[in-house]
Amino acid sequence: MNADLMLALAGFAFVTSATPGPNNMMLMASGANFGIRRTVPHMLGVSLGFGAMVALLGLGVDRVIAGNPVLASAMKWVSLAYMIWLAWKIATASAPEGTAGAGRPLTFLQAAAFQWVNPKAWAMALGALSAYAAG
């Protein structure tokens, strides 16, 4: 990969990480509610989960999923169940009673798993791969 392409990819990565989306909103809320130290696993889960998703898509996992309707359907149902579970957690969370740090932020694994149901992550990953993989 030449320097111009690397610079363009770095710019793309910066812009996509700084634009509003589910990850940024959840990290902002987690940082405000739990502090930076308790939010670090969530941040690492987002970063490494997204990186793993891009790597696997780059290796062709998307073609395997598209070529296997049963697997594609199963992934859709698992994604739906995970999003419903997250929505349930948000909907049933009790209001804070003035005690900072009550509750807990997403764990590393929860944040990493969220990347697979995050529509912005999919759009950015597929966009980056199609634009930069051919190099």
pLDDT in tens, 78-122: 777 877 887 787 778 776 666 554 678 999 999 999 988 888 888
Under a CB-based contact definition with an 8 Å cutoff, are residues 54 and 128 in contact?
yes
Q: How confident is the model at residue 46 (pLDDT cuts 50, 70, 90)?
A: very high
Under a CB-based contact definition with an 8 Å cutoff, are residues 108 and 44 in contact?
yes
Q: What is the pLDDT of residue 20?
A: 82
CA distances from 78 to 12, 74, 96, 112, 114 (A): 30, 6, 30, 15, 11
| Domain regions of the chain by residue span | 3-93+102-132
What whole-number distance in Å separates Cα of residue 30 and Cα of residue 36?
8
Q: pTM of the predicted model, to two decimals?
A: 0.67
